[in-house]
């Protein structure tokens, strides 16, 4: 693996033209250095001496500019010992200062990245980070995670951590995993977001790690075992492992240790038991080759099941009554998907049973609606607002709730102001509605419904700008807003009624969908610009926003099985 980086444009023939002059000037500097002409400092690292010019180094990086400014003792020394810098990496960076060219490989990436970070050679640092992102895999994610943490590269660290957690089954079989220091091992396997198929796999991975250097690592076994959620292991299997495994059976007091750990009330790692359901919306068969006039979108008549790597587990056509679900709404209650409204049957309602893999009709709603929202609170489904299907300019304020016992819909208190195409989320037993389209404009107001009081109120703090088409996701005690015309993730604190700007998207997200898994928000699809902004087309990419580290990364190269926009994505427990 390698990557050549060339900054600027090179020419073999010196001349007065701007592009040729720059290349000629770089060659002259390199010849001066080779000939020792006007050389005024020698950098020393690991026994290697590298003669160069203070002026060139100062122009390349602020680190040397500050060193040679006169306030440091190094500014007057002929030889400077560069402690903590790899000799080969230092020579490459000096060469970069003279030529603007550097050659990055898998063998030199770590010392080069560390040296570029220390010496503040930002272009090389950026390209090292890109190299590591491009080559992220089961055998590199752990070392990349550790290196990024060491160099305080927050975004790269979050991306590598996310990859390592999601690909645990592949990562724990690599040489890199077996070489982990004990502290890093504990950090990794104790993470609540670890995607292990079973908790037994975590125990097996720890035993594998210990066996790799038994004499040295057996003393770390007890602290490593504390990372296992023993209460969620099959107890019969656990007893068998303890009795037959050559490592565990020899550990003094292992039965008492495991008995104590089993008594600890630790939550299961729910994240590895979840998957995404994607349905509805619009797609395109192929991207146009000739021009915008050849491009067409069509309704998506398939439902996809995806794992959290965005691999398609299953794809099946949806039933014919569900074909016309444009501008519908969905939510999940008790691991069933409820779908309402939209299309040419705007009062329709359906339930999809994940466990039975089947759709059933629910009683029709009292009011037909499209571009509306849904939220589940305490096991009840609330359908909110939207637009009148028979008068598209009229926005609805009505709200109804589905009663599971009576199998019927009931009207509750209407919103203060009718809106459609808004963000909706549930938190703390309340329903929050963010922005949306009014009769002739877009609003920045936030409306909140309290079912216990059957009352709506308008929050004091508005959205920073009027917004419509946004998606709202609740994670822990915060609500996160994405999509629409937002230029960053907005975090809303319901208790303080306050917003904070967070990470920016990596891909356009207008008409996207979003769902939550653990501490990550999966932002699926949306519209991309094509033909110099003349045409918007659906795209298949998935962006993952990590709430804890406030970082955005692309979910996978493949993304969704088809390009999609105006669709639905929800998270359900795997059956």
Q: Say what the pLDDT of residue 320 is.
A: 72
Over residues 415-425, the mean pLDDT reads: 97
The pLDDT confidence band at residue 502, using thresholds 50, 70 and 90, is very high
* pLDDT (average), residues 360-377: 95
Whole-number pLDDT of residue 2: 53
Residue 391's pLDDT band (cuts 50, 70, 90): confident
Per-residue confidence at 376, pLDDT binned at 50, 70, 90? Answer: very high
Cβ-Cβ contacts under 8 Å for 541 (sequence gap 6 or more): 507, 525, 526, 554, 555, 559, 560
Reading the block at residue 188, the tokens are: 């990794």
For residue 264, pLDDT over 80 is answered with no
Kindly state the average pLDDT of the residues 569-574. 92
Question: Is 6's pLDDT higher than 50?
Answer: no
Highest mean pLDDT among 149-163, 343-357, 495-509: 495-509
The arithmetic mean of pLDDT across residues 538-566, rounded, is 86
Q: Which of 102-106, 231-235, 331-335 has the lowest mean pLDDT?
A: 231-235
Architecture per CATH, 2-135: 2-Layer Sandwich (3.30)
pLDDT of the residue at 261: 62
Given a cut of 90, is residue 557 above it in pLDDT?
no
Q: Look at residue 341 and tell me whether its pLDDT is greater than 80.
A: yes
pLDDT above 90 as % of the chain: 53
C-alpha 163, offset from chain centre: 10
pLDDT of 287 higher than 60: no
Nearest partner of 40 among 6, 83, 75, judged by Cα: 75
CA distance 527 to 507: 9
Of 41-45, 115-119, 411-415, 426-430, the range with the lowest mean pLDDT is 41-45
Report residue 398: phi and psi, to 5°. Answer: -70, 150
Asked whether residue 311 carries a pLDDT value surpassing 90, the answer given is no
Strand pairing class (408-412; 48-52):
unpaired
What pLDDT score does 14 carry? 44
Question: Which one, of 69, 65, 33, lies nearest residue 52 by Cα?
Answer: 33
The residue-averaged pLDDT of 92-97 equals 92
CATH number of 180-263: 1.25.40.420
At 530 the pLDDT is 60
Q: For 398-481, where are the alpha helices, taking DSSP H only?
A: none
Chain-centroid distance of CA 537 in Å reads: 22
Nearest to 278 by CA among 575, 573, 574, 564: 564
Q: What is the pLDDT of residue 532?
A: 44
Distance of CA 350 to the CA centre of its chain: 31
pLDDT band at 285 (very low <50, low <70, confident <90, very high): low
Closest residue by Cα to residue 462 from 498, 437, 489, 418: 498
- Give the mean model confidence (pLDDT) for residues 279-284: 89
Looking at every residue in the chain, the average pLDDT score rounds to 86
Q: Which of 31-35, 116-120, 231-235, 340-344 has the lowest mean pLDDT?
A: 231-235
Mean pLDDT of 357-383: 94
Model pLDDT for residues 145-166, shown as the tens digit of each residue: 999 999 999 889 988 998 898 8
**pLDDT of residue 280 exceeding 50:** yes
Using the predicted structure, report yes or no on whether residue 533 has a pLDDT greater than 60: no
Q: What is the pLDDT of residue 115?
A: 96
Residue 489 has pLDDT above 70, yes or no: yes
More confident residue, 139 or 261: 139
Neighbours of 78 (CB within 10 A): 9
Hey, where are the domains in the chain?
2-135, 180-263, 270-573
Stretch 110-114: mean pLDDT = 97
Tell me which of 10-14, 333-337, 459-463, 504-508 is least confident.
10-14
**Domain covering 270-573, topology:** Neuraminidase (2.120.10)
For helices 109-118 and 122-134, the axis angle rounded to 10 degrees is 150
State the pLDDT confidence band at 286, using cuts at 50, 70 and 90.
Answer: low
CA-CA-CA-CA dihedral for 134, 484, 328, 271, to nearest 10:
40
3-state secondary structure of 509: coil
Give the bridge partners for 475, in sequence order: 478
Q: What is the pLDDT of residue 27?
A: 80
Nearest to 530 by CA among 563, 561, 555: 563
Residue 196 has pLDDT above 70, yes or no: yes
Query: Which range (48-57, 174-183, 359-368) has the least confidence?
Result: 48-57
pLDDT for 249? 66
């Amino acid at each position: 693996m390698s990557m050549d980086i060339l900054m600027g444009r090179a020419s073999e023939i010196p001349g007065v033209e701007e592009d040729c002059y720059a290349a000629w000037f770089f060659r002259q500097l390199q010849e001066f250095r080779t000939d020792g002409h006007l050389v005024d400092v020698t950098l020393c690292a690991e026994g290697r001496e590298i003669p160069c010019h203070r002026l060139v180094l100062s122009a390349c990086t602020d680190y040397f500019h500050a060193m040679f400014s006169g306030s440091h003792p190094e500014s007057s020394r002929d030889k400077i010992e560069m402690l903590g810098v790899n000799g080969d990496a230092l020579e490459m960076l000096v060469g970069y200062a003279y030529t603007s060219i550097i050659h990055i490989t898998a063998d030199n990436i770590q010392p080069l990245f560390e040296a570029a970070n220390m010496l503040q050679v930002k272009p090389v640092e950026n390209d090292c980070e890109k190299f590591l992102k491009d080559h992220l895999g089961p055998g590199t994610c752990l070392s990349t995670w550790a290196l990024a943490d060491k160099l305080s590269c927050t975004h790269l660290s979050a991306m590598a951590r996310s990859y390592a957690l999601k690909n645990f089954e592949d990562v724990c079989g690599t040489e890199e995993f077996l070489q982990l220091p004990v502290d890093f091992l504990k950090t990794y396997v104790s993470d609540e977001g670890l995607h292990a198929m079973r908790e037994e796999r975590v125990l097996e991975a720890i035993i594998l790690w210990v066996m790799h250097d038994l004499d040295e690592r057996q003393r770390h076994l007890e602290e490593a075992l504390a990372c296992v959620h023993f209460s969620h292991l099959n107890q019969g299997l656990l007893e068998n492992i303890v009795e037959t495994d050559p490592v565990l059976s020899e550990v003094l007091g292992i039965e008492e240790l495991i008995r104590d750990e089993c008594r600890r009330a630790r939550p299961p790692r729910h994240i590895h038991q979840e998957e995404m359901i994607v349905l509805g919306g619009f797609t395109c068969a192929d991207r146009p080759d000739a021009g915008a006039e050849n491009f067409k979108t069509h309704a998506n008549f398939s439902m996809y099941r995806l794992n959290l790597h965005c691999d398609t587990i299953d794809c099946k056509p949806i039933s014919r009554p569900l074909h016309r679900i444009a501008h519908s709404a969905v939510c999940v209650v008790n691991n069933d998907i409820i779908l309402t409204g939209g299309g040419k049957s705007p009062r329709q309602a359906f339930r999809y049973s994940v466990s039975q893999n089947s759709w059933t009709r629910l009683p029709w709603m009292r009011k037909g609606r499209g571009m509306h929202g849904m939220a589940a609170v305490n096991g009840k489904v609330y359908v909110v607002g939207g637009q009148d299907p028979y008068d598209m300019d009229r926005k609805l304020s009505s709200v109804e709730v589905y009663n599971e016992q009576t199998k019927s819909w009931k009207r509750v208190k209407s919103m203060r102001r009718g809106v459609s195409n808004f963000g909706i989320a549930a938190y703390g037993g309340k329903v929050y509605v963010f922005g949306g389209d009014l009769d002739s404009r877009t609003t920045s107001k936030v409306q909140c419904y309290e079912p216990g009081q059957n009352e709506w109120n308008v929050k004091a703090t508005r959205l920073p700008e009027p917004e419509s088409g946004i998606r709202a996701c609740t994670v822990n005690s915060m609500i996160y807003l994405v999509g629409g015309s937002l230029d960053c993730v907005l975090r809303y604190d319901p208790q303080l009624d306050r917003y904070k700007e967070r990470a920016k998207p990596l891909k356009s997200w207008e008409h996207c969908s979003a769902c939550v898994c653990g501490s990550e928000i999966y932002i699926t699809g949306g519209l991309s610009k094509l033909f110099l902004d003349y045409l918007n087309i659906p795209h298949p990419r998935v962006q993952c926003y990590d709430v804890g580290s406030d970082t955005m990364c692309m979910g996978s190269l493949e993304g969704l099985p088809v390009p999609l926009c105006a669709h639905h994505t929800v998270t359900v427990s795997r059956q």
